[in-house]
C-alpha cells in the first residue's frame, strides 16, 4: 500500500509538467486560445463535436506577426492535451497589416465552461504548409463560401467542392469577416446541381449566412431551392423575415420572424428537420413551424433570387453555408458568438516561448545573483515599499488637510468684521486622542469643524490665547480689550503653532530623501560587489569566457536597477509632496498675519 501511495504521489507531482509539455521543439512559440461558452444570450448548453471556430489575430491580441512565416505556413493548432494536431485552414494572412483569419476544427467544444482551450504554435521557418481546407469541416457540411479575394466564382471550401455554377453578383474585398458577396438587386448566385447538395427532409438541412440587408422595398428572396413540385423560400419582405415551403404553388408551411435590421450585420440560420422548420437570428431562435415532408425538395438552389430569376435581394452576404443536417441551437449559438463582431466565444492568452528556463533572460539573471546581491536587493525592496506606502499616506493626509483648509477659509472670510471666535469649537476626547496622529485624524476622524485643517489648528490656538486674556463670558468679551503686549503674546503663540503644524506636514519626509539618495548608492554597492565576485571567480578559474562573465555582470547590474526603482518614484513623490507642503506653509504664514490683524481690530483699545 505504501509503495502504491508513493507512486500516486509521484504521478501527481509529475502531472503539472505533463500539462505544460511542448508539442514539438521545432516550433519556438505558442499561444493559448480559450473558449467561453458561458456567455449570456444565445446559450451553448451542449457539447459540440467537430465545429469550425474562427480565430481572429490582430495587433490587439497578437503582436508577433514577424515571428511567423510570411505566408503563415508554420502555424499549427493543437488540442488542449498539447498532443493532437487539429485541422485548420487560413482564410486570410496579412503580416503587413497584422491581421489573420483562420478556421480551426475544434474536436469538442465543451458546454457552459471557461476552461476549454486549444494551442496555436508558430515560429518554425523550416515548416511546410499544414492547412487542410476540406478537412476543417465535418462531412455534414456540404458547402461553405468564404468569398475570398481573387475568385472569379465563389469557391466551396469543403471537400465536396460545390463551387458556384454561376454568379452575376460582385465579390467585395472587405466584408464582415474578410471578403463578401454584394447583391445589388439584379444579381444572384446559382449553386451547382450536385447530388450531395440535395435537401432531404428526413436527413435535415441547414442554411446559414451573415447578412446585411441594405433595403426592403418588396418581397426579396435570400435563398431558394426546389424541384418540379416543391419549393423552399427564405426571404424578407416589408412584414419581416420568413421561410415557407410550397407544393405545386400551394403553401404547405410557413414560419415568420421580425424584420432584420437595415444596414446591420446579423447571422441568419434556417433549419429543417424532425418535422419542423426554424429560423434563428444572431444565434437565437425567432420562429418555428411544423411540417411533414418525406421527399427531396430540390434540384436547383439559388442565392439572392427566386428560381424564376426575379424577386432579387439587395444585401451583402458573408460566410454562406449549407449542411445536410439540422444543426442544433447550441451549434448555431456557438457560431454566432465566435464569428460575430463582438467575438465573445474566443479569447487569447499570452504568448509563450518554447525555450527552456535556462535560456530565459530573467531566469539567467535571477540564478546568477550572489548572496550579497540578494541582501542588497531585499534591503532596496523594503525601502521601496516603505517609500511607496509613505507617499500614499502623506498624499492622502495632505489632500484631506487641503480640503479642510479650503472649507475653513471660506467660512472664515464670511465672518467679516464680526466676532472672529465664532468658528471655534471645543475638542472632544476623540479629537484629543488623535492629535498626535494627523493621518488617523484625516482618515478616521470627524470633519464637522475642520479637524484636519492646519489653518484651523492655528486659529483655534489663537482664539484660546485671546479668550485667556479677555475672558470667556459675554459681558467680559464686550468690555474686554487687548493691550499691545497681549497682542504680541498671541502672535508668538500663533507662530509656535505654525511651526508645529509645519512639522506635522513634513513628518517622515526624510524617509523619501533617504530613498532618493541612498537607493542608488546601495544599488551601486551591490553592483560593484557583484562584479568583484564575478572577476574573482574568473581569476580563480583562470579562464576568460564571455558566456560565463555576462550572466554574472547582468545579475550584478540588477542591484543598480533595484536602486533606481527605489529612487525614481521617491524623487517624483518628494518633489510633488514638498511643493504642496510649501504652499500650505505659505498659506499659514499669511493667515497668521491676517488673524492677528483681525483680532487686533476687534479687541482694540479705546
DSSP per-residue string spanning 58-91: ETTT---GGGS-TTSTT-EEE-TTSS-B--EEEE
User: By the 8 A CB rule, do 320 and 209 touch?
Assistant: yes
The predicted structure's pLDDT at residue 121? 97
Sequence-distant (6+) residues with CB within 8 A of 53 are 35, 103, 104, 105, 106, 109, 334, 338, 345, 346
The pLDDT assigned to 600 comes to 83
C-alpha cell at 424: 471655534
Q: Calculate Rg over the CA atoms of the chain.
A: 39
pLDDT tens track for 414-455: 888 788 888 888 766 665 555 566 666 555 556 666 878 888
Residues in contact with 518: Cβ distance below 8 Å, sequence separation at least 6, in sequence order: 383
What is the Cα–Cα distance from 390 to 90, expressed in whole angstroms? 54
The Cβ of residue 180 has, within 10 Å, a number of other Cβ atoms equal to 27
Per-domain residue ranges of the chain: 18-138, 141-324
* CB neighbour class for 209 (10 Å; exposed up to 12, middle 13-18, buried from 19): buried
In this structure, CATH architecture of domain 141-324: Sandwich (2.60)
- pLDDT 10s digits, 269-305: 999 999 999 999 999 999 999 998 777 777 789 999 9
Contact between 211 and 262 (Cβ < 8 Å): no
Distance CA 386, CA 370 (A): 24
Going from the C-alpha of 301 to that of each of 145, 173, 326, the distances in angstroms are 14, 25, 18
Q: Tell me the C-alpha distance between 240 and 217, whole Å.
A: 11
- Whole-number pLDDT of residue 547: 52
Contact by Cβ (8 Å): 400, 446: no
Residues near 294 by Cβ (< 8 Å), separated by ≥ 6?
A: 201, 202
pLDDT per residue over 330-347, tens digit each?
A: 999 999 999 987 768 999
Q: How far is CA 548 from CA 128, 167, 356, 368, in A?
A: 37, 68, 18, 10
Predicted confidence at residue 230, as pLDDT, reads 87
Q: Which residues of the chain have pLDDT under 70?
A: 1-20, 40-42, 343, 355-364, 366-368, 427-449, 471-480, 537-551, 605-606
- Is there a contact between 251 and 244 (Cβ–Cβ < 8 Å)? yes
Q: 114-128 burial, b for 16+ CB within 10 Å, e for fewer?
A: eebbbbbbbbbeebe
Amino acid at each position: 500500500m505504501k509503495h502504491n501511495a508513493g507512486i500516486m504521489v509521484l504521478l501527481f507531482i509529475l502531472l503539472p509538467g505533463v500539462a505544460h509539455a511542448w508539442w514539438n521543439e521545432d516550433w519556438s512559440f505558442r499561444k493559448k486560445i480559450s473558449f467561453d461558452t458561458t456567455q449570456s444570450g444565445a446559450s451553448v448548453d451542449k457539447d459540440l463535436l467537430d465545429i469550425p471556430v474562427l480565430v481572429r489575430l490582430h495587433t490587439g491580441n497578437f503582436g508577433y506577426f514577424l515571428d511567423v512565416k510570411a505566408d503563415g505556413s508554420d502555424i499549427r493548432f493543437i488540442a488542449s492535451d498539447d498532443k493532437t494536431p487539429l485541422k485548420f485552414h487560413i482564410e486570410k494572412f496579412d503580416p503587413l497589416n497584422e491581421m489573420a483569419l483562420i478556421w480551426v476544427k475544434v474536436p469538442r467544444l465543451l458546454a457552459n465552461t471557461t476552461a476549454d482551450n486549444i494551442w496555436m504554435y508558430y515560429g518554425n521557418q523550416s515548416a511546410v504548409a499544414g492547412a487542410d481546407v476540406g478537412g476543417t469541416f465535418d462531412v455534414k457540411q456540404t458547402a461553405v463560401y468564404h468569398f475570398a479575394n481573387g475568385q472569379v466564382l465563389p469557391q466551396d471550401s469543403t471537400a465536396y467542392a460545390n463551387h458556384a455554377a454561376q454568379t452575376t453578383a460582385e465579390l467585395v474585398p472587405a466584408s464582415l469577416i474578410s471578403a463578401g458577396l454584394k447583391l445589388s438587386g439584379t444579381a444572384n448566385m446559382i449553386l451547382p446541381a450536385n447530388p450531395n447538395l440535395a435537401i432531404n427532409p428526413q436527413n435535415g438541412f441547414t442554411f446559414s449566412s451573415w447578412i446585411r440587408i441594405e433595403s426592403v422595398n418588396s418581397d426579396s428572396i435570400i435563398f431558394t431551392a426546389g424541384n418540379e413540385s416543391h419549393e423552399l423560400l427564405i426571404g424578407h419582405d416589408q412584414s419581416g423575415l420568413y421561410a415557407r415551403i410550397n407544393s405545386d404553388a400551394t403553401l404547405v408551411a410557413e414560419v415568420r420572424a421580425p424584420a432584420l435590421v437595415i444596414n446591420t450585420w446579423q447571422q441568419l440560420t434556417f433549419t429543417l428537420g424532425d418535422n419542423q422548420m426554424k429560423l434563428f437570428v444572431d444565434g437565437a431562435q425567432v420562429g418555428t413551424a411544423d411540417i411533414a415532408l418525406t421527399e427531396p425538395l430540390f434540384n436547383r438552389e439559388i442565392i439572392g433570387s427566386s428560381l424564376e430569376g426575379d424577386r432579387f435581394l439587395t444585401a451583402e452576404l458573408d460566410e454562406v453555408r449549407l449542411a445536410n443536417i439540422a444543426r442544433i441551437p447550441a451549434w448555431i449559438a456557438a457560431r454566432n458568438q465566435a464569428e460575430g463582431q463582438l467575438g465573445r466565444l474566443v479569447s487569447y492568452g499570452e504568448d509563450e516561448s518554447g525555450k527552456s528556463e535556462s535560456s530565459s533572460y530573467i531566469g539567467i539573471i535571477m540564478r546568477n545573483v550572489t548572496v550579497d546581491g540578494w541582501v542588497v536587493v531585499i534591503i532596496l525592496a523594503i525601502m521601496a515599499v516603505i517609500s511607496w506606502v509613505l507617499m500614499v499616506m502623506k498624499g492622502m493626509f495632505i489632500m484631506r488637510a487641503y480640503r479642510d483648509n479650503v472649507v475653513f477659509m471660506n467660512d472664515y472670510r464670511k465672518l467679516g468684521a464680526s466676532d472672529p471666535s465664532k468658528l471655534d469649537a471645543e475638542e472632544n476626547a476623540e479629537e484629543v486622542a488623535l492629535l498626535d496622529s494627523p493621518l488617523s485624524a484625516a482618515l478616521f476622524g470627524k470633519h464637522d469643524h475642520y479637524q484636519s485643517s492646519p489653518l484651523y489648528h492655528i486659529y483655534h490656538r489663537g482664539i484660546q490665547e485671546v479668550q485667556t486674556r479677555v475672558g470667556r463670558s459675554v459681558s467680559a468679551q464686550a468690555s474686554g480689550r487687548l493691550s499691545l503686549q497681549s497682542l504680541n503674546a498671541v502672535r508668538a503663540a500663533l507662530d509656535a503653532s505654525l511651526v508645529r503644524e509645519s512639522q506635522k506636514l513634513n513628518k517622515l519626509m526624510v524617509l523619501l530623501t533617504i530613498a532618493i539618495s541612498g537607493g542608488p548608492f546601495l544599488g551601486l554597492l551591490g553592483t560593484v560587489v557583484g562584479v568583484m565576485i564575478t572577476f574573482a571567480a574568473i581569476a580563480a578559474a583562470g579562464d576568460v569566457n564571455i558566456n560565463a562573465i555576462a550572466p554574472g555582470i547582468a545579475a550584478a547590474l540588477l542591484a543598480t536597477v533595484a536602486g533606481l526603482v527605489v529612487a525614481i518614484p521617491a524623487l517624483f513623490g518628494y518633489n510633488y509632496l514638498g511643493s504642496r507642503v510649501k504652499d500650505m506653509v505659505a498659506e499659514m504664514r499669511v493667515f497668521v498675519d491676517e488673524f492677528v490683524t483681525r483680532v487686533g481690530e476687534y479687541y482694540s483699545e479705546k
